């Protein structure tokens, strides 16, 4: 049985929860209090004991993007990367460049000067991208979408950031939210806001 060391509020964990739901893989959850990380986690994912961590029979895998690719290979159905190698590479590139959005997101959380403008620029770039393709992964929903959706949900529902100026992002997010895997995350985010 797989075990996910998880925190509901963590968007990186949300990535892995979405992939596990897409694949209908049964797993156990160990909910981690982010303010008091268990020694096991610090030992297995040094130096910070970051979540998510996936564990199976003592084998331990950290890093959400790596975990998600592992799960996609280990449980191939439904596939979350395109079949074409070039399209797969393009999707991986978008995941690899997540910090283009992540850095301004966390800068805004820290209320750094100029963060709002940097985030707006990142969202505008995402909007251009999504104006040209239905999903970040390409023609179908997949790992690149999973890599970004949790932050967009938190921006909209927890941080009160309006996405009105980014119609392609809104259209994409609404389409993603129709999937049960993402709808479950909308509920998780709502419970964090309550
Ligand atoms: N690159 C990691 C980042 C994970 C991460 O930053 N998780 C946060 C919770 S949302 C955490 O555990 N942070 C603890 C820390 O940085 O000390 C991944 O993709 O899994």
Q: In angstroms, what is the span from residue 173 Cα to ligand 1's centroid? A: 23
pLDDT of 183 = 98
Q: Is 108 close to ligand 1, i.e. is its CB under 6 Å away?
A: no
C-alpha distances out from residue 10 to 63, 73, 120, 150, Å: 12, 24, 22, 9
pLDDT of 25 = 97
Sign of the dihedral through C-alpha 87, 77, 32, 186: positive
pLDDT of 44 = 87
CATH topology of domain 85-193: Glutathione S-transferase Yfyf (Class Pi); Chain A, domain 2 (1.20.1050)
Q: Is 50 close to ligand 1, i.e. is its CB under 6 Å away?
A: yes
Q: Is 63 close to ligand 1, i.e. is its CB under 6 Å away?
A: yes
Q: Which atom of ligand 1 is nearest to the CA of 10?
A: 10
Measured CA to CA, the distance from residue 168 to residue 120 in angstroms comes to: 14
Q: In angstroms, what is the span from residue 168 Cα to ligand 1's centroid? A: 28
Q: Is 64 close to ligand 1, i.e. is its CB under 6 Å away?
A: yes
pLDDT of 57 = 92
Query: For the whole prediction, is pTM greater than 0.95?
Result: yes
pLDDT of 194 = 76
Q: Which atom of ligand 1 is nearest to the CA of 52?
A: 20
Q: In angstroms, what is the span from residue 21 Cα to ligand 1's centroid? A: 21
The CATH class of the 2-74 domain is alpha beta
Measured CA to CA, the distance from residue 91 to residue 82 in angstroms comes to: 8
Kindly report the three-state secondary structure assignment for every residue of the chain.
CEEEEECCCCHHHHHHHHHHHHHCCCEEEEECCCCCCCHHHHHHCCCCCCCCEEEECCEEEECHHHHHHHHHHHCCCCCCCCCCHHHHHHHHHHHHCCHHHHHHHHHHHCCCCCHHHHHHHHHHHHHHHHHHCCECCECCCCHHHHHHHHHHHHHHHCCCCCCCCCHHHHHHHHHHHCCHHHHHHHHHHHHHHC
Measured CA to CA, the distance from residue 78 to residue 89 in angstroms comes to: 18
Classified as helix, coil or strand, 88 is helix
The dihedral over CA atoms of 6, 10, 12, 13, expressed in degrees to the nearest 10, equals 20
Q: Is 191 close to ligand 1, i.e. is its CB under 6 Å away?
A: no
Are 183 and 177 contacting, i.e. CB atoms less than 8 angstroms apart? yes
Q: Going residue by residue through the chain (194 aa), what tens digit of pLDDT does each one get?
A: 999 999 999 999 999 999 999 999 999 999 999 999 889 899 889 888 999 999 999 999 999 999 999 999 999 999 999 999 999 999 999 999 999 999 999 999 999 999 999 999 999 999 999 999 999 999 999 999 999 999 999 999 999 999 999 999 999 999 999 999 999 999 999 999 87
Looking up tokens 């020694």 gives 39
Residue spans of the domains in the chain: they are: 2-74, 85-193
* Nearest residue by C-alpha to atom 18 in ligand 1: 63
Q: Which atom of ligand 1 is nearest to the CA of 48?
A: 17
């Amino acid at each position: 049985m797989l075990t996910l060391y998880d925190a509901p509020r963590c968007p990186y964990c949300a990535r892995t929860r979405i992939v596990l739901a897409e694949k209908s893989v049964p797993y156990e959850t160990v909910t981690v209090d982010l303010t008091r990380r268990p020694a096991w986690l610090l030992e297995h994912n040094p130096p910070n004991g970051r979540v998510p961590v996936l564990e199976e029979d003592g084998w331990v895998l950290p890093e959400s993007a790596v975990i998600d690719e592992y799960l996609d290979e280990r449980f191939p159905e439904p596939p979350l990367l395109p079949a074409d190698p070039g399209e797969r590479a393009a999707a991986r590139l978008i995941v690899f460049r997540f910090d283009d959005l992540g850095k301004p997101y966390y800068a805004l959380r820290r209320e750094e000067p100029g963060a709002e403008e940097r985030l707006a620029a990142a969202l505008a770039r995402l909007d251009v991208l999504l104006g040209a393709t239905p999903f970040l992964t390409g023609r179908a929903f997949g790992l690149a979408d999973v890599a970004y959706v949790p932050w967009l949900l938190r921006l909209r529902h927890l941080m009160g950031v309006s996405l009105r100026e980014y119609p392609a992002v809104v259209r994409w997010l609404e389409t993603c939210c129709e999937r049960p895997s993402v709808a479950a995350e909308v509920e998780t985010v709502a419970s964090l806001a309550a």
